[in-house]
Structure formats: C-alpha cells, structure tokens
Structure 1
Amino acid sequence: MQRAAFSKGFIYLVLIIGSVCMLLPFAWMFITSIKSPGEVMMMPPVWIPEDFKWENYKEAWSMAPFARYTINSIIVTVLSTLGELVTTILAAYAFSRMHFYGRDILFSILLGTMMVPGEVLLIPNYVTLSNLGWIDQYQALIIPWLASIFSIFLLRQFFLGIPQELSYAAKIDGCNNFRFLWTIMVPLAKPALITIVLLKAIGSWNSFLWPLIVTQSKEMRTLPVGLTSFSTEAGINYELLMAASTMIILPMIILYFCLQRYIIEGVAKAGIKG
C-alpha cells in the first residue's frame, strides 16, 4: 500500500516538475512584456517589475501593420485548415474502407515521406511556386499545405476502429460510399477531426519559415514574420517583442485549452486498431 502511494506521489511530482518547466517560458515571456527597457537586461533577472508597463502592448501593435498581419494569418489558417480537413477525410476513408490495387503499398510510400525533413523540400517547392508565379500571393501560403500525411494517418487509424458492420448495414440500406462517409463516419470521428483541426490551426498560425521565404511585401506577411520588425541594427526591443509574441500566441492557447479533451480522446481512440 505504501509502495503504491509512493509510486503515485513520485509520478505526480515528475508531472508537476514537467509542467513547471513547460510553463516557465510562457510566464517569462509575459513578465518580460510588461517590463521597462532597463529591467529587461538587469542581472540577476527581475521577476516582478516595479511598474507594470501595459503600454508596451499598444506600442508593439503600432510598430508594424499588425492588423494586416492578423488578417493574413486568419485567412491562411482558416483556408489551409479547411482544405486539409477535406483532403484528410477523403484520403483516410479511401485507405481504410475502400479496396483498390496497391492501396497498402501506396499508403506505405506516403508514410515514408514523413521521414523526409521539410527543410530539404524548401528549395524545390520555392522553385515550383516561382515558376507558377505564386510568390508573394495567398496561393503560396495556402495550397502547399492543403494535405498532411500525418493527419491522414491519424484519421485512418480512427476509421479502422469503427466497426465494419456499420458499413455492411449501410450498404444493405442502399447507402453509397460518399453518403456513408459524411453521414456516419465523419460524425463518429468528431474527436479525431477536432484534433486534426486544432493541430493544423496551431501549426499554420505559428508558421514562420515558409511565410518568410514566399512573401516579399508587408501586405502579405503573417504574424510570426511580423515579429522581425522588432529586430533592428540598433538591437532588439525585447519588451515589445515579448508583448507582440504574447498577443500572437494567446488565441492559440485559449483554443487549445477549450479543445484539449478532444485531442486526448482523438489520439487515444486512433490507436485502437493499427
């Protein structure tokens, strides 16, 4: 009994330490965002500012066209998430429920592409988009990210966990594949779909390297790229940079905490059947 209590207490202690380590950077970012310029560089570090500089947020917002950056980020995030959701649903259903020649081999090849680092594809993708004339346009920010092998894999695993008898019963009632997918499979896969949407939205909202490469004008840049406005030849305004960073990640943090139970449920149920 004592051993079980000790093991449980040790697990909780490890989880608490891990949580503190994960939350500490966010806490430091917020604290820095309300410091004065002098307190930012003080050693030892100042954890509680003498005077909370809330005006840093207003100043950070006005240093660059963040309203335009926000609109661009919303457009890119919403459209790329919806596009990936559609392609993921169709592909996952095909690989889990439909039988065609070479299905398993094709799926294995697609999974193999996940081992290719994304940085390797930057130059070929840029050259392709440049030849299409899409550089510095919404197409370059959205179209290359309308499909995700990981999302297809996750949803396929979830679909495989749905009893095959439902498909047989639907076919007896005259239900075709398309109707069965949208009226039965999709509603049952709600936790996995919400997980995919949330992970995609967070990834698209926080994307930095690709928007930096394919955008040239301020009118097309997204929020993460806009953070470079705080880096100048004279140095970095850390308090303003942290204020802008806090404003950028806050929507995703709120979204995650509202939907985190669906992530746990979706990932857990996706592993029922391999």
Structure 2
Amino acid sequence: MKLMRLSMYVLGALWLVPFIWVFLTSFQPRETIGSGLFQFTYTLDNYTSAWSGAPFLQYYLNTTIIVLGILSVQLFTATLAAYVFAKMEFKGKEILFVLFLVQLMVPNEALIVPNFQIISDFSLIDTKLAVMMPYFMTALGVFLLRQQFKSIPAELEEAARIDGCGPLRIITKIYLPLSVPTYVAFSLVSVSTHWNNFLWPLIVTNSEKNRPITVGLSLFSGSYETGAQFAVLTAATIIVVAPLLLAFLIFQRQFMNSFMQTGIK
C-alpha cells in the first residue's frame, strides 16, 4: 500500500513539474527565457501581449457556447436513454445496451469523414452547430447514469406512480436529485473533453466568430509575431487551461466519489 501511494506521488510530481515550468515561465520577462538562469523577476506583460495578440475573448465565448450546448443535449439524451436501460424492460435490452456501448471503442477520428459529409450536406460548415452535432449522444454518459439509476430503489418510483406521476416527472423529481454527483462527474468529463477538442473544430470552422479556443491557440502559436516568444506562448496556454483546472479543483471530490461509486456498483 505504501509503495502504491509512493508511486502515485511520483506520477503526480512528474505531471506537475512541466505545468509548474509553464506557469512560472509565463510570468518571466522575455529576455530571461533561454538564458539558463532562473530569474526572480515577474511580469504580467506576457499575459497582456497574449490577450491582445488574438481575440481570446471571442474564442472563450465560442468555446463556452459549444461546450455548454453539447453538455445540455448530452444530459437530456443520456438521462432518457439511461432511464430506459435501467428501469424499463423490453426484449433484447441487454444486447442493445452492449451494442450501444460499442461507441466507446470507436475513436472520433475514425468518423471524421462521414461526419464531415453529413455536416456539408446540411450546409453547416463554419458554424458552432457543426462542431456540436457529432457529440450530442454519449455512450459514457448513458453508462454512468444507468449504473446510478439502477442503484435507486424501485419503491420510490412505485410510490411516485401511485401519486400519479408520469415517467418524465419521475425522472425529474426522483432520479435527477439523487444522481447529482454522477451528473457533476460526467459534466466535468464532457466539458474538459470538448474544451480541449482540436481536430474536428479545426476542420469545420474557418472564421473567428465560430473558432474555439484550442484552434485559436494553435493559430496564435504559429503566427509570425509569436514564433519564438515562449513566454507569451506559455501565458496563452495558461489562459486556455485555467478554467478547466479551476473547475476540477472545485468539483474534484464529487468527480472522484462518483466514479468510485460507479465502479463498485
């Protein structure tokens, strides 16, 4: 047990070292980068230059709309599908559920060509909807919520039916309030995944008004003005990842507890 804990600390340190380097470098004056000596001088000029060098506010807005749009539809579709697989009985349910989970083994990159053809047929290229549509259904969300719904006693649903509640009211009044940690955990996974998504938005967006922050950061890092300005690039990187780190620090307890409970069930 001690060896496992020590290994966890070592792996955590290995992950933390490059992040600390990037964080400290983002505050270093440009002339000290690459000098080989660590300077105890700090400046916010790198963040000012990064923020003014690209429309990051627009990128933030685009990414927020995309991420929240995907999450909203995913929560709706995953909740209904999870309830069906957890509480309703019909022929072939288990086989259908296994086939549904096969989606987890298919990488998104393998579906880029057919997805692009569909988006193009609907004339949605260079729109936020084009970025969101392929992710409206989630096998992971259905799996997590199904496991949570199965753990909720059937007597609660029976009592609600006696009181005259229909399926939608039962879901909103019983299953949703009792599954908040699972919803929080899945929301963190979904938000972090689509906040960091790069390849698909790069393919289907062409303008600043629809481009997410990952694509914007890539274009910013490749621009002539910032080609060798590592301090500015590290500042821009911190600007991009800061919201995700903050969200994880706030909800890390719910995140870990939800996945532990799902594994036990």
Q: Answer yes or no: same fold by TM over 0.5.
A: yes
Match of 1:100 in 2: 90
CA distance in 2 between partners of 1:152 and 1:160 (Å): 12
Amino acid at match of 2:249: F
Moved more, 99-108 or 129-138: 99-108
1:261 pairs with one of 253, 258, 261: 253
* CA deviation after TM superposition for structure 1 residue 272, in Å: 3.8
User: Is 1:57 aligned to 2:37, yes or no?
Assistant: no
Amino acid at match of 2:254: Y
* CA deviation after TM superposition for structure 1 residue 97, in Å: 0.7
Contact 1:158 1:272 in 2 (8 A): no
Q: Deviations over 1:189-218 (max 9, x none)?
A: 111011111111111222111111110112
Where structure 2 has 5 or more consecutive residues not aligned to the other structure, the ranges are none
Q: Deviations over 1:75-106 (max 9, x none)?
A: 11111111111111111111111122332222
Where structure 1 has 5 or more consecutive residues not aligned to the other structure, the ranges are 1-6
1:136 pairs with one of 126, 130, 137: 126
Name the % identity.
Answer: 35
* CA deviation after TM superposition for structure 1 residue 173, in Å: 2.9
User: Is 1:146 aligned to 2:136, yes or no?
Assistant: yes
Match of 2:27 in 1: 34
CA distance in 2 between partners of 1:29 and 1:62 (Å): 20
Counterparts of residues 50-199 of structure 1 (less than 5 Å):
50-199=40-189
Amino acid at match of 1:110: F
CA distance in 1 between partners of 2:158 and 2:27 (Å): 61
CA distance in 2 between partners of 1:137 and 1:100 (Å): 39
* CA deviation after TM superposition for structure 1 residue 146, in Å: 1.6
What is the TM-score with the length of structure 2 in the denominator?
0.92
Q: Deviations over 1:136-175 (max 9, x none)?
A: 0111022222221111111111111112222233223332
CA distance in 1 between partners of 2:61 and 2:187 (Å): 19
2:242 pairs with one of 246, 250, 257: 250
Q: Deviations over 1:216-270 (max 9, x none)?
A: 1122111111112121358343211110110111111111111111111211222
Match of 2:195 in 1: 205
2:229 pairs with one of 223, 229, 237: 237
Match of 1:270 in 2: 262
CA distance in 2 between partners of 1:177 and 1:103 (Å): 18
Moved more, 229-238 or 136-145: 229-238
